[in-house]
Structure 1
Amino acid sequence: MGSPVILVADDHPLFRAAVLHALRAAMPQADVVESASAPALGQALLAHPQADLLLLDLTMPGARGFSVLLHVRGEHPQVPVVVISSNDHPRVIRRAQQFGAAGFIPKSAPAEAIGEAVAAVLDGGSWFPPMAAERSEADAELAAKLAQLTPQQFRVLLCLADGLLNKQIAHELGLAENTVKVHVTAILKKLDCYSRTQAAVLVKGLEPESSA
């Protein structure tokens, strides 16, 4: 295997620099690609579809809680994702795991933890801090429902959650308004929702609770 390609998605330059430093120390041969927003990450994933690992911050411009994690898992299932977050509430860690992450590194963890987690996941394993939160059936159900959506439907759903009308969604995603209408109908059916508002509430549930 050549040099591993590792994507780092975080909007804080200082934190990206710290992660880069930890990665360089743990695996000097790694090729690291940085992104500071969800759209930039989308471009990086298209440019590096064979990336070996993604280190993902949950709170970035263009991201809504766990939406990016679910989106990446749906569109690039071959890329393992390790979530890095300052919110290390046990339920947030548990939800990251249920939504398909291969690992979770609290931002408060020592630099060595990044190297440890990356090595474990590149080796085909997983890396999570000890968790007190129980597995949630509601989250498991939500993850299963969202997994039925196509990448395009997922994008439409996130626009719905922002309160956009079909015409605005069509403009935003470069689609015909009729296509958006078809997507919305399919989304509501797959998610067992009877209204756009109910679907928006469902997406709201992807936002990590505060750790307070």
Structure 2
Amino acid sequence: MSKPYALVVDDHPMVANSIAAFLNTHCGYKRAYVAASRQECDRFIEEKGSPQLLVLDFWLPDGTALQLIRELLQKASTIRLLVISGDENNNVQHKAREVGAHGFVHKHDSPQVFNCAVTALQNGQFWFPETSDPALLPSSLPHFQTFGLTQRQTEVLAMMLRGFSNKRIAIALAVSEPTIKEHITSILSKLGVTNRVEAITLLQGQRPTL
């Protein structure tokens, strides 16, 4: 049986190789390969078996990756599919989710957010940026306050777990980024963790379905 590996499918070499290197150094994959097209992707899978994680650019040289996502899931339902894109159109992530992708990350998101997304998928969860009003999220998370969090910290934590950057949280709550950073420092301290990835792991199973 082949060992678990990750595969990055993106026709931009610098982007693809950077993601593969990050998967090696931060996400626990001893093997992470790069494919520049759906044809190369198919060849990798034929030769090495199905990857545990496949990071897939939404826009490939011959069009969108939607059909490829369908085909991959038909061939191997155990693959965890994380779609990435620099496109700001929310329809991109919605379309990816509709055909079966397990997560979506914007290319302008921070490495920390990408790491959180990968961790979520590795744990059998989903990762899609929330497009509804983020200020409404905490109403479904009252149990987070059992960690001694204030209402505002609960709001910030809910958005952290959905992949919001500090800037997006600040805009949503109409406060400054430094204020959000202060909240996050306090949240991590109360949870007894040092970063967002550890927070995701701690709260595994408590995080709402996305």
Which bracket does the TM-score occupy, shorter chain normalised?
A: 0.5 to 0.7
The runs of 5 or more residues in structure 2 that have no matched partner are: 134-210
Equivalent residue, structure 2, for 1:119 = 119
1:25 and 1:9, CA in 2 relative to 1: closer, same or farther beyond 3 A? same
Residue 78 of structure 1 deviates from its aligned partner by 2.0
Amino acid at match of 1:57: D
Q: CA deviation at 1:3?
A: 6.2
Contact map agreement 2:17 2:34 (CA 8 A) in 1: no
Deviations 1:73-121 (A, max 9, x none): 2222221211011114222111211110000011111112222111110
CA gap of 1:113–1:3, structure 2 versus 1, over 3 A, is farther
Match of 1:13 in 2: 13
Tell me the residue number matched to 2:41.
41
Q: Calculate the TM-score normalised by the size of structure 1.
A: 0.56
2:56 corresponding residue in structure 1:
56
Identity of aligned residues (%): 24
Q: Which runs of 4+ in 1 moved over 3 A?
A: 62-65
Once the two structures are overlaid, the 10-residue window that deviates more, 24-33 or 9-18, is 24-33
Distance 1:88 1:7 in 2: 24
Q: Distance in 1 between matches of 2:129 and 2:36?
A: 25
Aligned positions, number: 132
Contact 1:53 1:82 in 2 (8 A): yes
Which residue number corresponds to residue 30 of structure 2? 30
Give the structure 2 partner of residue 108 of structure 1.
108
Equivalence for 2:145: none
For residues 66 and 29 of structure 2, the distance between their equivalents in structure 1, rounded to whole angstroms, comes to 30
Check conservation: 1:8, 1:34, Cα contact below 8 A: yes
- Give the superposition deviation at 1:28: 4.6
Cα deviation, residue 55, structure 1: 0.3
Are 2:4 and 2:51, in contact at CA under 8 Å, matched by a contact in 1? yes
The alignment's C-alpha RMSD in Å is 2.2
SS at match of 1:94: helix
Q: Distance in 2 between matches of 1:22 and 1:112?
A: 11
What SS does the corresponding residue of 1:131 show, helix, strand or coil?
Answer: coil
Shifted more, 114-123 versus 19-28: the winner is 19-28
CA distance in 1, matches of 2:40, 2:29: 24
Amino acid at match of 2:118: V
Partner of 2:76: 76
Q: Tell me which amino acid in the other structure corresponds to 1:70.
A: R
Q: Distance in 1 between matches of 2:21 and 2:112?
A: 10
SS at match of 2:71: helix
- Distance, in Å, in 1 between the alignment partners of 2:74 and 2:93 is 19
Partner Cα separation in structure 2 for residue 28 and residue 81 of structure 1: 17
**Cα 1:55/1:33, change in 2 over 3 Å:** same
- Point out which structure has higher relative CO (alpha carbons under 8 A, 6+ apart): 1
Local SS of the residue matching 2:16: helix
Q: Matched residue of 2:128: which SS?
A: coil
Paired with 1:22 and 1:95, the residues of 2 have a C-alpha distance of: 26
5+ residue gaps, structure 1, are 134-212
**Deviation for aligned residue 1:132:** 4.0
* AA matched with 1:122: Q
CA distance in 1, matches of 2:23, 2:65: 25
Q: CA deviation at 1:65?
A: 4.3
The amino acid of 1:26's aligned partner reads H
In 1, Cα distance between the equivalents of 2:109 and 2:59?
A: 17
